[in-house]
Chains A and B, each alone.
Chain A
Amino acid sequence: MILAVTGGKGGVGKSTISVELGAALDATVVDADLGMADLPTGPGPDLHDVLADRADPVEAVREGCGPVRLLPCGRSLAGARAADVTALDTTLRNVERAYGDVVVDCPAGLKADAGVPLAVADACVVVVSPRRYALADAIRSRELARELDAGLVAVVINRVVDDAPEAAFGEALGAPTVVVPADPRVGRTLESFRPVVRTDPSTRAADAIGTVADGVRRAKRV
């Protein structure tokens, strides 16, 4: 299964949730943010090289370098320009064939680089912040996903401090809403590349990620 982790705005925690879900589902995480990648990279071919037909997708997957298998993305503008986003289709399918489930960390916005992962994905998770404007973002993301045939598994309201408008989201979007409470350990997931579902599985945040992962597994069976 190819799961897209999307959400209209930047900075809401798509990459963090992608890594957490990747760990919870034992999936390969693909950093598809071609212009503003933020998952760890390192020496070796990355998604820019793959989409420019300079590397094989399976060879670009990093195994054993961290808690999750990762296909990182390059950081250069030249790489972003050379990358052909239409090649993401075969890339994601090849990774899925070789490694099983794939979690795609989508870029912000509503351009083709955000749309193509949704067009390829079997399902999606929308990540939003617990702000007033976030409902509109979530609806826009859901509409794009619906247009591109990616079923919405769950809406993740991320970094919730007080009460989150769970019911309003659930009603407006017609999808289960999962609240991930603000937790500094989750905030460090990307920095340390250590997902809380592995390091602190008993926390409420890890529990929430587990709920989303269960939803994804159920969607996979359908």
Chain B
Amino acid sequence: MPPDDPDARTDTVSPRPVQAAVTTTATPGGALVAVTLRNDTAVDVRVRVDNDLDGPVLPPRREGVPAAGWDENGFTGTIPADSQIGIGYACPCSDGSSDGAPKDSVSVNALGPADGDPSTRDRVADAVRSLGRATPPADAVPASSPVESGPSGLPTPAAAWLDAVETRVRRGERLTDATAEEAAAVLEDCGGVGAVTHLPNELDEDIAALRAAGDRIEELLARATATDPEPVVSSLAAAADGEVPADQEGRQSGNDRATATDDPNPGRKR
């Protein structure tokens, strides 16, 4: 953080034996707090720094794990004898974006001389910080692809649902104004009266579900047809490959060129 930042304000908080210089910089997203802790005594001193801003502490992280000494509310650590340490965190607070720097970002308390290592080390966090995570990279994880379509052109789960609805509707149609003979034929087909006793209720539920699905489909169809991401995506892809976008380039390999010229409208077919 530049010391001459116009938004920055440096306060000196002095809970002896620790001298603390606090610099709080307001940013559009919140506040950045830098604290320099100085120990002028001849013994190591343990110190606690608590966040007083109206927001959570976002501590520095290594391998996704907060750096040693940080917790939800602040920092606990040891300042070696006759030396200083610097710490800093971000806080997405409302004060940070308001005019002027927030007041009293932190409170600093000396916890007394550090004898031995009274801090309970979090060995798991230490291991992750020092060894590094071994998670596979995001690119290696297959993205969840659009749902597969069946022979009807509908996504398989949707087709299965509609087929089930259709079966019930067909049964409902056959039983509508049916004579005793027609009704008996339906019962024979579906194996007894037990299979149709819930049919009126099920059809009511189907009607509600179909209406909801219809509304959703209409809305999504309108939104989907209004999109046109292709030009931006192709220039992004070209930039990622270190190439000039196709429309600004004279020379291209045969295959790419064929795709680019044979299809006058490379956007999606509608």
Contacts and interface: CB of A to CB of B under 8 A. Distances in A.
B132 A112 contact: yes
Interface of A: 34-35, 77-78, 80-81, 83, 85-86, 88-89, 107, 109-116, 118-120, 148-149
Contacts of A80: 135-136
Contact of A149 (B123, B140, B142): B123
Given A78-B141, A81-B135, A86-B124, 7 more contacts: A77-B136, A78-B142, A80-B135, A115-B127, A116-B128, A119-B124, A120-B124
Which of the listed residues A86, A89, A112, A119 has the most CB atoms from chain B within 10 Å of its own CB? A112
Interface in B133-176: 133-136, 138, 140-142
A86 B65 contact: yes
Tell me the interface secondary structure of chain A in the complex.
helix
B232 interface: no
- 8 nearest interchain CB pairs? A111-B134, A115-B127, A119-B123, A112-B128, A112-B131, A113-B134, A119-B127, A115-B131
Contacts of B63: 112
Contacts of B132: 111-112
B190 to A, nearest CB: 32
Contact of B141 (A34, A77, A111, A112): A77
Given A86-B65, A112-B128, A116-B128, A35 B123 contact: no
B246 interface: no
B128 A86 contact: yes
B: contact size bracket? 10 to 19
B126 interface: yes
Contacts of B134: 34-35, 85, 107, 109, 111-114
A142 to B, nearest CB: 16
A85 B138 CA distance: 16
A76 B65 CA distance: 24
B123 A112 contact: no
Which of the listed residues A34, A110, A114, A115 has the most CB atoms from chain B within 10 Å of its own CB? A115
A119 B124 CA distance: 6
B142 A85 contact: no
A34 B134 CA distance: 9
A216 to B, nearest CB: 21
B125 interface: yes
Nearest to A79: B141
Interface string B222-263: 000000000000000000000000000000000000000000
